[in-house]
Amino acid sequence: MRVTVFDYGAGNLHSLIKTLARDGAQVEIQTDPARAARTDVLVLPGVGAFGHAAARMAPGLADMRSALRDGLPCLGICLGMQLLFDASDEGEGNGLGILPGRAKRLEGGRVPQIGWNTIEEGDDPLLRAAPLATAYYANSYVCRPSDESCVRAWSSHGDTRFPALVRAARIVGVQFHPEKSSTPGVELVRAFLREAEQ
């Protein structure tokens, strides 16, 4: 299985690539968004700022959006999850618009949120395959879907509740970093790849 990580040019992807390659998947890094869409599984990593990432994605946005709508499995992590939505208050540019809504600044406590947080009300095949009670976060923005039926798990920051995991068919977004969430997080990524193979 060929897994392509779309690189926005914003940071170290080593731990993510190591996690994805764990079961023998062929992992490649791609900076061309149109080429990134021609793969078996697309991963949108969680490092960077929305405006910069949207600008890097813009030349191949239509190709990527079309591939996702045609059934390409995708895992969006942190910023990658936010790129699945229409837009973000963090910066200019368009997201993929797979899920209606936008990313808004996190409220309810110290920002950025960095560290472990509880996963609440998790109801998704991935969370059943890899039960995740807590996960590692590093974020200042969270997704606000227009329709919350896409939300499969929640977390809270102070008194602010926000989506921890969203899904649209074979497209999954997680606000946390599974690759940094110890063994249960790694297991969640492996469960996603097994699901993508079916």
d(CA 119, CA 132): 7
pLDDT higher at 42 or 48: 42
pLDDT computed for residue 127 by the predictor:
96
Q: What is the mean pLDDT of residues 47-75?
A: 96
Task: Look at residue 127 and give its three-state secondary structure.
Answer: helix
d(CA 169, CA 99): 11
pLDDT computed for residue 12 by the predictor:
77
Q: Is 78 a known active-site residue?
A: yes
Pick from 9-18, 68-77, 114-123, 132-141: least confident: 9-18
Q: Is 121 a known active-site residue?
A: no
Residue 97: which CATH number?
3.40.50.880
pLDDT computed for residue 5 by the predictor:
97
Q: For the segment 134-185, what is each residue's pLDDT rounded down to a tens digit? A: 999 999 999 999 999 999 999 999 999 999 999 999 999 999 999 999 999 9
Number of domains in the chain: 1
Q: How far is CA 137 from CA 15, 47, 62, 72, 88, in A?
A: 15, 12, 30, 26, 18
pLDDT computed for residue 73 by the predictor:
98
pLDDT computed for residue 23 by the predictor:
85
Q: What is the mean pLDDT of residues 51-56?
A: 96
Mean pLDDT of the chain: 96
If pLDDT is split at 50, 70 and 90, which confidence band does 9 have? confident
Catalytic-role residue among 74, 143, 150, 179: 179
Q: What is the mean pLDDT of residues 39-49?
A: 95
- Does the pLDDT at position 28 exceed 80? yes
Domain with 152, as residue range(s), is 2-197
Q: What proportion of the chain, given as a percentage, has pLDDT over 90?
A: 93
Q: Which residues pair with 29 in a beta bridge?
A: 5
pLDDT computed for residue 72 by the predictor:
98
Q: What is the mean pLDDT of residues 177-196?
A: 96
* Of 157, 148, 172, the residue nearest 107 (C-alpha): 157
pLDDT computed for residue 104 by the predictor:
98
- Does the pLDDT at position 11 exceed 80? no
- CA torsion sign for 91, 97, 98, 103 is positive
- Does the pLDDT at position 10 exceed 80? no
Q: Is 177 a known active-site residue?
A: yes
Catalytic-role residue among 78, 90, 143, 150: 78
- Does the pLDDT at position 80 exceed 90? yes
Catalytic-role residue among 90, 157, 177, 187: 177
